[in-house]
Amino acid sequence: MQRYEIAIIGSGPAGYVGAIKAAREGFPTSVIEKGDFGGVCLNKGCIPTKTLVASAKQLRNTRRAADFGIDLKGPVTAIFQKLNDRKESVVDIEKKGLIKLVENSGAEVIKGQASFVNKNVLKVSGAGGEKTIHAQSIIVATGSKPKNLPFLPFDGEKVLSSDELLSLDSLPESMIIIGGGYIGCEFASIFSALGTKITIIEALPRLLMNVDEDIVAVLNREFKKEGIDILTNSQIVGTKVADKVTVTLADGTDISADICLVSVGRRPSTDGLSAENTGLSILPDGAIKVNEQMMTNIPGVFAVGDVIGNPMLAHVASAECKVAVGNALGNHFLMDYTVIPSGIFTYPEIGSVGLTEEQARTAGRDVKTGTVLLRSLGISHASGEIVGMAKLVADAVSDMIIGIHIIGERATDLIHEVAVAMYQGMTASALGYVIHTHPTFSELVSEAARDANGGAIFSRRLYA
Ligand SMILES: Cc1cc2nc3c(=O)[nH]c(=O)nc-3n(C[C@H](O)[C@H](O)[C@H](O)COP(=O)(O)OP(=O)(O)OC[C@H]3O[C@@H](n4cnc5c(N)ncnc54)[C@H](O)[C@@H]3O)c2cc1C
């Protein structure tokens, strides 16, 4: 039996980051993967989607080249196969680099499906047969899977999960997207740029329910301008899958399209893990229960990433696994969720960190906001990216920043300045004093900070 200090099940952004950290500290470490190295993030999530987002962006910009004084001859078209080839090649390059990084750290990559024999022993079944390994500590980082709709199950042809949508070999003329969360919205944005007619069906009152209302209003407007149909407050009462997928709504409307993406969330994945052999505590939604040290109810067994539930984000998964590794090696680190930035890579893109105005008020906080429109900055016109805004939320009494929400060019990067400010407990006025380079998109952040105290030159209020 092979023996390790730490064995990690799953090689997603939780598992590979944890393995590198543990091995670099000199501890015998293995990471076990039953599928493609790199997990959902590298193979079916962050990286392939953002590669397609980059193609869609390039396409949108090329189509309006004339606005920038560039004369392009002939029609601008996307070649779906080439887009997909690029996506595969980006994933491949990244995967080779990651495997090298893990191996160079000294961690061992074991291929196969891991299942618990007991709290220290795993059975690994792979192409080469079966083996057992022993580890002082085991970290479960087995990720998540797309949720199915019982009345419209995935069939891999017409009714697709996000995994399957990424493997399409031809561009559909039309697509229904059930679920207006970030995955549904990102795919809507990508496929709409490529020429697919998109209809989003959402049961809740708006898209992206966790995102600031004003920010979502901008996205809604831009989606509609692009020809994306958005049906909110829409209950599905019937479905038919034939040549087309047809969805009937409660008001009697029928919507038909070539294919349907079901993106109604993801569920933690403990399939095949034989968690019952250790007595691991699993919550009703399937997530493994952990404390803030990432410890499960079984001493020496930790769980991290999507398998412990929300927020299901790659960078959160990595941060959790670093905490778990530290604690497996005898420390007492706590996972800190107070500052978690997140990006939604639609066009225009959205970046958020901290509470929205609505969330803060619902939590009983007295808040003030600073709002600035992107079009008030010189850089937005120079760059041809005038759509967007920033809304900074600060405590009305202490002036401490409690969130920022940005839509527009570079939003997913801009939020990190505020993430750092929040981590350091900065006030809006302190952030507003910091001189920002002109002309840059970063002025949106400093102006929003100043606007929270009425001192913005380009305040949205003054344009009204
Ligand atoms: C379409 C899409 C786009 C996304 N975009 C973003 C984004 O832009 N930014 C972001 O932060 N997040 C994004 N996410 C979410 C992100 O991919 C996940 O939060 C992240 O991958 C979770 O990492 P993880 O390590 O917990 O699990 P995963 O990445 O799911 O990895 C788990 C791994 O464990 C393996 N495994 C499972 N069971 C076993 C077993 N018994 N034995 C061996 N191996 C096993 C699986 O094969 C898998 O490779 C996206 C997700 C999707 C679906």
pLDDT tens string 434-444:
999 999 999 99
Structure tokens at 330: 């005898």
Neighbours of 157 (CB within 10 A): 10
Choose the residue to mutate in 41, 208, 310 for probing ligand 1, maximizing ligand atoms within 8 Å of C-beta: 41
Mean predicted confidence (pLDDT) in 455-461: 81
Q: What are the pLDDT digits (tens) for 68-126?
A: 999 998 889 999 999 999 999 999 999 999 999 999 999 999 999 999 999 999 999 99
317 lines ligand 1 (CB under 6 A): yes
Tell which residue, 360, 363, 424, 423, has the closest CA to residue 392.
360
Structure tokens at 348: 């225009």
3-class SS letters over the chain: CEEEEEEEECCCHHHHHHHHHHHHCCCCEEEEECCCCCHHHHHCCHHHHHHHHHHHHHHHHHHCHHHHCCCCCCCCCCCHHHHHHHHHHHHHHHHHHHHHHHHHHCCEEEECEEEEEECCEEEEEECCEEEEEEEEEEEECCCEEECCECCECCCCCCEECHHHHCCCCCCCCEEEEECCCHHHHHHHHHHHHHCCEEEEECCCCCCCCCCCHHHHHHHHHHHHHHCCEEECCCCEEEEEECCCEEEEECCCCEEEECEEEECCCEEECCCCCCHHHCCCCECCCCCECCCCCCECCCCCEEECHHHHCCCCCHHHHHHHHHHHHHHHCCCCCCCCCCCCCEEECCCCCEEEEECCHHHHHHCCCCEEEEEEEHHHCHHHHHHCCCCCEEEEEEECCCCEEEEEEEECCCHHHHHHHHHHHHHCCCEHHHHHHCCCCCCCCCHHHHHHHHHCCCCCCCEHHHHC
Per-residue pLDDT band at 460 (split at 50, 70, 90)? confident
Q: What is the pLDDT of residue 457?
A: 87
Choose the residue to mutate in 36, 40, 346 for probing ligand 1, maximizing ligand atoms within 8 Å of C-beta: 40
Q: What are phi and psi of 402, to 5 degrees?
A: -120, 0
Reply yes or no on whether the pLDDT at 352 is more than 90.
yes
Mean predicted confidence (pLDDT) in 372-398: 97
What distance in Å separates the CA atoms of residue 411 and residue 416, rounded to the nearest whole number? 9
Q: Let me know: does 292 contact 307? Beta carbons within 8 Å.
A: no
Reply yes or no on whether the pLDDT at 462 is more than 90.
no
Reply yes or no on whether the pLDDT at 459 is more than 80.
no
Count Cβ neighbours within 10 Å for each residue of 208-229 and write b for 16 or more, e otherwise.
Answer: beebbebbbebbbebbeeeebe
Mean predicted confidence (pLDDT) in 238-244: 98
Residues annotated as catalytic (active site), given as ranges: 438
Tell which residue, 245, 249, 235, 252, has the closest CA to residue 152.
245
Do 2-145+267-328 and 159-264 come out as alike in CATH topology? yes
What distance in Å separates the CA atoms of residue 429 and residue 455, rounded to the nearest whole number? 9
Reply yes or no on whether the pLDDT at 142 is more than 70.
yes
Query: Rg of the chain over CA atoms, in angstroms?
Result: 24
More confident residue, 463 or 94: 94
Domain ranges of the chain: 2-145+267-328, 159-264, 348-462
Per-residue pLDDT band at 414 (split at 50, 70, 90)? very high
> For residue 445, with 0-12 CB atoms within 10 Å meaning exposed, 13-18 middle and 19 or more buried, which class applies?
buried
CATH class of 159-264: alpha beta
Q: What is the pLDDT of residue 334?
A: 98
Q: Let me know: does 312 contact 142? Beta carbons within 8 Å.
A: no
Around 275, how many Cα atoms within 13 Å sit in the side-chain half-sphere?
23
Q: What is the pLDDT of residue 310?
A: 84
For 150-159, the CB contacts below 8 A with 24+ separation are: 151/236, 151/239, 152/178, 152/236, 152/239, 152/241, 152/247, 152/260, 152/262, 154/262, 155/241, 157/259, 158/241, 158/244, 158/245, 158/258, 158/259, 158/260, 159/241, 159/245, 159/259, 159/260, 159/262
Q: How far is the CA of 180 from the centre of ligand 1 (A)?
A: 20
CATH code for the domain defined by 2-145+267-328: 3.50.50.60
Reply yes or no on whether the pLDDT at 463 is more than 80.
no
Q: What is the pLDDT of residue 174?
A: 98
164 lines ligand 1 (CB under 6 A): no
What distance in Å separates the CA atoms of residue 119 and residue 19, rounded to the nearest whole number? 19
Choose the residue to mutate in 46, 177, 307, 350 for probing ligand 1, maximizing ligand atoms within 8 Å of C-beta: 46
110 lines ligand 1 (CB under 6 A): no
What distance in Å separates the CA atoms of residue 234 and residue 18, rounded to the nearest whole number? 42
Residue nearest to atom 7 of ligand 1 (CA): 46
Q: Let me know: does 144 contact 266? Beta carbons within 8 Å.
A: yes
Q: What are the pLDDT digits (tens) for 245-299?
A: 999 999 999 999 999 999 999 999 999 999 999 999 999 999 999 999 999 999 9
Ligand 1 atom closest to Cα of residue 10: 34
Reply yes or no on whether the pLDDT at 28 is more than 80.
yes
> Topology of domain 348-462, per CATH?
Enolase-like; domain 1 (3.30.390)
Mean predicted confidence (pLDDT) in 28-48: 98
Residue nearest to atom 49 of ligand 1 (CA): 39
The answer to whether the bond into 311 is cis (omega within 30° of 0) is: yes
Q: What is the pLDDT of residue 464?
A: 63
